[in-house]
């Protein structure tokens, strides 16, 4: 019996030791689990390790990369920031953005109030995430957009808008307003680790009714001035066209008259040249031949009387220039081109015109009863 008791005591001691070991292991696991943890930094995010205790307490300068991260939850904290583009719209409509009016109002150079719906798109630089958290202690981008970024946008819009006229802002200067505001906001956000991707004015600008009426009247007056200017241009063009047509018609008439005058002058020169050639080529022999050629052999008669004598021509007065000079002048006249002649031929001398004389008629014979 004594031996069994020993063995039985031995069994109980072993069991107790095993239980003690299990408890110790459990305590160690609990302590280890309580002193360390693991988290995952998803895609599109960047993690920032924050030391909560110790000599290195505070935000770590280097951001945590994506993936699984081991840290001690008793002394450390992992803050995640989204690195994707964030879109925010500050609108007057309750159907877009917040359920209340978030539009931005600013003043023009004249002091007129201008209201606008403004939208922005921005993202954070992953390398500047620790600086951003250290500056604002806020990882929620929507909260940052509606506080710090909204104030930067509103201040920039007021600064730029106060340098522009309301008609310029409402018209062609709207693009300039957006560009200048976007530059100012980008300069404000860049040192804080935020990058402005886009700034827009959504929809039309809202102005007071009296300002809209004044702008519309000014635009109407400008449009009427443009129309009047275009009408003046049209009238001037029509007048220039009429003057050009009249000038062309007058020039055509002058050219026609000049052509007709040149034609008459050419014909006159040709006739004068022909007459001169005839005069120089006419000799007493030729005239006698022409006279004989045209005579039919009968003497002319007159009423109540007998036959008339044949007319005679004084051949001595036909050509009074030497024969050599006559032939040379005739050759020169035949060589002249009447079209190219620049001056008309001289009229023949009166003494060179042939004189035709006729004998006195015989007295009339009385008729017998």
Express each pLDDT in 136-147 by its tens digit.
888 888 899 999
User: CATH 3.30.479.30 region(s) of the chain?
Assistant: 86-207
Distance in angstroms (rounded) separating the CA atoms of residues 78 and 71: 8
Evaluate whether 78 touches 42 at the Cβ level (below 8 Å). no
The 8-class DSSP code of residue 37 comes to E
Evaluate whether 37 touches 73 at the Cβ level (below 8 Å). yes
The pLDDT confidence band at residue 356, using thresholds 50, 70 and 90, is: very low
The pLDDT confidence band at residue 359, using thresholds 50, 70 and 90, is: very low
Tell me which of 155 and 268 has the higher pLDDT. 155
Mean pLDDT computed over 86-115:
87
- pLDDT for res 3: 42
From 99-103, 135-139, 335-339, the region with the lowest mean pLDDT: 335-339
Half-sphere exposure of 296 (CA within 13 A, CB side): 3
Evaluate whether 83 touches 46 at the Cβ level (below 8 Å). yes
Angle, vertex CA 366, rays to CA 365 and CA 369, nearest 5: 140
Extract long-range pairs of 280-289: CB within 8 Å, 24+ residues apart. Answer: 280/319, 280/326, 280/329, 280/330, 280/333, 281/330, 282/318, 282/319, 282/354, 283/318, 283/319, 284/315, 284/318, 287/313, 287/315, 287/318, 287/354, 288/315
The pLDDT confidence band at residue 199, using thresholds 50, 70 and 90, is: very high
Tell me which of 149 and 53 has the higher pLDDT. 149
The 8-class DSSP code of residue 352 comes to G
- pLDDT higher than 90, residue 181: yes
The fraction of the chain above a pLDDT of 70, given in percent, is 75
Total residue length of the chain: 369
Q: Which CATH number fits domain 86-207: 3.40.50.150, 3.50.30.30, 3.40.50.1820, 3.30.479.30?
A: 3.30.479.30
- Name 50's Cβ contacts closer than 8 Å, sequence gap at least 6: 58, 59, 60, 76, 77, 78, 79, 133
Token readout for 136 is 């604002």
Highest mean pLDDT pick, 12-26, 134-148, 326-340? 134-148
């Amino acid at each position: 019996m004594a031996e069994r008791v020993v063995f039985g005591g031995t069994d109980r001691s072993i069991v107790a030791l095993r239980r003690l070991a299990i408890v110790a292991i459990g305590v160690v696991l609990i302590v280890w689990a309580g002193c360390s943890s693991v988290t995952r930094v998803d895609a599109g995010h960047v993690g920032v390790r924050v030391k909560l205790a110790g000599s290195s307490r505070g935000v770590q300068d280097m951001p945590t990369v994506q993936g699984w991260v081991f840290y001690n939850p008793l002394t450390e904290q992992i803050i995640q920031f989204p690195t994707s583009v964030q879109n925010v719209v500050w609108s007057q409509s309750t159907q877009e953005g917040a359920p209340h009016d978030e539009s931005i109002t600013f003043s023009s150079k004249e002091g007129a109030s201008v209201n606008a719906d403004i939208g922005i798109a921005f993202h954070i630089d992953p390398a500047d995430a620790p600086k951003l958290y250290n500056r604002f202690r806020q990882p929620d981008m929507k909260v940052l957009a509606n506080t710090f970024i909204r104030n930067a946008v509103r201040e920039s819009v007021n600064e730029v808008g106060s340098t522009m006229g309301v008609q310029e802002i409402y018209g062609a200067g709207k693009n300039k307003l957006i560009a200048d505001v976007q530059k100012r906001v980008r300069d404000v956000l860049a040192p804080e680790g935020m990058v402005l991707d886009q700034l827009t004015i959504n929809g039309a600008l809202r102005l007071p009714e009296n300002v809209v009426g004044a702008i519309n009247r000014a635009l109407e007056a400008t449009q009427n001035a443009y129309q009047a200017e275009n009408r003046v241009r049209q009238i001037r063009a029509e007048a220039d066209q009429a003057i050009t047509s009249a000038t062309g018609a007058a020039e055509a008439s002058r050219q026609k008259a000049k052509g007709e005058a040149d034609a008459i002058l050419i014909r006159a020169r040709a006739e004068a040249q022909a007459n001169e050639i005839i005069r120089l080529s006419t000799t007493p022999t030729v005239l006698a031949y022409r006279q004989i050629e045209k005579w039919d052999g009968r003497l002319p008669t007159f009423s109540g009387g007998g036959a008339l004598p044949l007319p005679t021509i004084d051949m001595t007065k036909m050509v009074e220039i030497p024969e050599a000079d006559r032939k040379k002048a005739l050759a020169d006249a035949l060589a002249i081109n009447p079209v190219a002649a620049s001056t008309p031929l001289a009229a023949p001398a009166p003494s060179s015109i042939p004189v035709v004389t006729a004998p006195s008629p015989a007295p009339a014979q009385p008729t017998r009863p």
